[in-house]
Structure 1
Amino acid sequence: MKLKSKHYYIRKSHRYLGIILGIQFLFWTLGGLYFSWNDIDEVHGDHLRKEKRHFSASMKMASPQAVLDAIKAKSQVDSVLSVQLIEIAGVPAYQIRYFSGDMDHKGHETAGHGGGSHASNVRVQLANAETGQFISPLSESEAITVASNQVTSPIKVEKVEYLTEVGSHHEYREKPLPAWAITFSQPDNCTVYVSAELGTFQAIRHNQWRVFDFFWMLHTMDYEGRDNFGNILLRAFSILGLFTVLSGFVLYFISSPSVKKVKSKVRTPKPTHAA
């Protein structure tokens, strides 16, 4: 039986590697084209949002210390993480985030709260910034008002959901929970996400972002969570891609007529002349 040449095996390997990687290379190319031809600010939905309003400097404000003292009267406060002035449905409010409870044995924050973005021993208290009175987590009507104040010319509320958990592919993944999801028919079929406990806008998602997110999943090859650039599948395809390119160079080198002519000239001995 005639043995097959090394050329045959190199060509076969190159062909099959090309078939395996070709579809993924097409996805990477399509994704790259979509990424480069779209304004990232529009993908984030900045063009759908109203300009941020500011509070009047003449506004009468209660002392944040008084609010913090009221929190201490009803709850354990180990330390303060942040004090922020926000707006809730037209009302100025303090958002006070503080640590309450035990740390782990290494002194670190304990497990995540709200989709993994907050530690479980971090508490949030909202308070009216003018009166100092506590404010409960946002109701549905308040969340709709907050969402409507974020969007330019909201037409109609199509759907309202209260989210306590989301999957790894959800468009609101890895953000504070619980949250209200308010979907408007216009503009651009957008959904505004508002954190119930934080009382603030968190994200806006629309059709352009959803297409971007789909191509992003194909680009990262993270079909579980979409955002992991270090996944095994991506690493494997990167290595296979390198082998495919190298095998193409080798195949050209061993099969090119030009290379064969050069090698033939090198091997052909020069004629010698008799003395």
Structure 2
Amino acid sequence: MHLLKSVHKWLSLVIAIQLGLWLLSGLVFNILDPQQVSGEALSAKPTAATIANAGPLLNHQDIIALYGQGAVRDINLHTLLGRSVYRVTLPDRIDLYDAGTGARLVVTATLARQIAQRDYLGNPADIASISKIQAPTLETRRHRGPVWQVAIDDRANTTLYISAEDGDLLERRNDTWRLFDFFWMLHIMDYRGRQDFNHLLVIVAAFGCLWLAISGCILLVNSFSLPGSGFLTRRRRRTVPVQVYNQTGSLARELRLPTGATLIDALAQQGIELPSLCGGGGNCGQCLVRIQAEAPVSADDRRLIATERLAAGYRLACRQRVDNPIAVELAGAPTTGSRRIGIEK
């Protein structure tokens, strides 16, 4: 049961920290403006796409014929800066073709700048740099393939990510989103990819919470079964007379202490604080008393008290329960104040 208590205590601390992070991140999510997080606050309102080519469009079968049988997974018509283009999806990439002429189109840095200028609501001159990224980063983790990174020198440190394959605007990132993303990582406990809800750490935390609830119920039931413990038993607990002697052997006080309580706790309730560095855990051996009657010997008594002193009636007050009238001689000077934080002799 001692091991169960220790594990329950430390696991409670870990779970409490995570609960605090969940509450804090939830509060941050409610405070942040969704428009700022998504970047739409600095995004120009989209206009309806129209077919811009004046002449006839190529048949999409002509585009498919450029590839081998079954190589094209999908082909669709859409607009890019007012220009009608065919978007051809292949197993390993995406190709663009002018829907009117059939010419192959490449999304260059210049074209990426034009796309960014069309989307960005601020001053186009604020575009500071354009660079090509081949591998996904945390800010583009949901996308694969090469991406143009358009850095904008504004107050929000906005960055636009444009697909280098088909020119689609993939993401709008800024400092507000980065703050949101940090707390999102803490919230879902995915400290690497920041997007997986169903990973091992979450599963372990869930089982930890379940175990915490079960062990808490076990400890609660066990507390009712302990002698003199629990609020139900305190109401009907009887008391017994206890005589307290000082180190000189003279009678210091006559008390009535509740049965079932440990001697160190019962004396503390009467204002007699015995020295203790372990808070009554049976580890420091400082709450030594001499009982002038036959008293049970605990494992901690045998471990911390010499054999000859055990024979003389010395016991640890934290391991002795008040069951019958007894006389107790204080082996060390009692103190005032809390023994829980450690009292020097």
1:137 aligns with 2:106: yes
Q: Give the equivalent residue in structure 1 for 2:62.
A: 69
Deviation for aligned residue 1:193:
0.7
Equivalence for 2:141:
173
Tell me whether 1:23 sits opposite 2:17 in the alignment. yes
TM-score when normalising by structure 2: 0.59
Asked if 2 retains the 8 angstrom alpha-carbon contact of 1:160 and 1:183, the reply is yes
Indicate the SS of the match to 2:209.
helix
CA distance in 2 between partners of 1:252 and 1:70 (Å)? 73
Asked whether the equivalents of residues 136 and 143 of structure 2 are also in contact (C-alpha less than 8 Å), the reply is: no
Contact kept in structure 2, 1:95 and 1:126, CA below 8 Å: yes
2:162 counterpart residue number:
194
CA distance in 2, matches of 1:152, 1:235: 43
Matches within 5 A, 1:101-120: 119-120=91-92
The 3 A distance-change label for structure 1 pair 20 and 56 is closer
- The C-alpha deviation readout for 1:128-164, integer Å capped at 9, x for no partner, is x4x3242422111110110121111145112221011
Alignment deviations for residues 14-57 of structure 1 (CA, whole Å, 9 cap, x no partner): 22112233332222222222223334454222222111122457
Q: Give the corresponding residue for 1:125.
A: 96
Amino acid at match of 1:69: D
Sequence identity (%) = 23
| 2:56 match: secondary structure | coil
CA distance change for structure 1 residues 236 and 83 in 2, over 3 Å: closer, same or farther? same
1:153/1:187 contact within 8 Å kept? no
Contact 2:135 2:144 in 1 (8 A): no
Find the counterpart in structure 2 of residue 260 from structure 1: 233
1:148 aligned to 109, 113, 117, which one?
Answer: 117
RMSD: 2.8
Seen in structure 2, the aligned counterparts of structure 1 residues 263 and 184 have a Cα distance that, compared at 3 Å, is: farther
Match of 1:271 in 2: none
Count residues in correspondence. 230
Unaligned regions of 5+ residues in structure 2, if any?
238-345
1:69, CA displacement in angstroms? Answer: 1.0
Distance 2:85 2:116 in 1: 19
Higher relative contact order (CA 8 A, sep 6+): 1
Deviations 1:170-193 (A, max 9, x none): 211131421100011125111101
SS of 1:247's equivalent? helix
Say if 1:262 and 1:239 are closer, same or farther in 2 by CA, change over 3 A: farther
Match of 1:82 in 2: 75
Match of 1:110 in 2: none
1:251/1:64 Cα in 2 relative to 1: closer, same or farther (>3 Å)? farther
Deviation for aligned residue 1:200? 1.7
Q: What letter corresponds to residue 94 of structure 1 in structure 2?
A: V
- When Rg is computed on C-alpha atoms for both structures, the one with the higher figure is 2
Q: 1:62 to 1:9 in 2, by over 3 A?
A: same
* Worse overlay, 194-203 or 152-161: 152-161
Unpaired segments of 5 or more residues in structure 1? 1-5, 100-118, 265-275
Q: Please list, as runs of the form range in 1=range in 2, the aligned pairs for 1:1-80 lying within 5 A after superposition.
A: 6=1, 8-55=2-49, 60-65=54-59, 68-70=61-63, 72=65, 74-76=66-68, 78=70, 79=72
Secondary structure, counterpart of 2:79 in structure 1: strand
Residues 80 and 242 (structure 1), Cα distance of their counterparts in 2 relative to 1, 3 Å cut: closer
In structure 2, do the counterparts of structure 1 residues 220 and 149 end up closer, same or farther at CA, with 3 Å as the change threshold? same
Match of 2:172 among 204, 212, 235: 204
CA distance in 2 between counterparts of 1:164 and 1:77 reads 29
Q: Residues 113-137 of structure 1, C-alpha deviation per residue, up to 9 Å, x if partnerless?
A: xxxxxx42x542231x4x3242422
TM-score, normalised via structure 1 length: 0.72
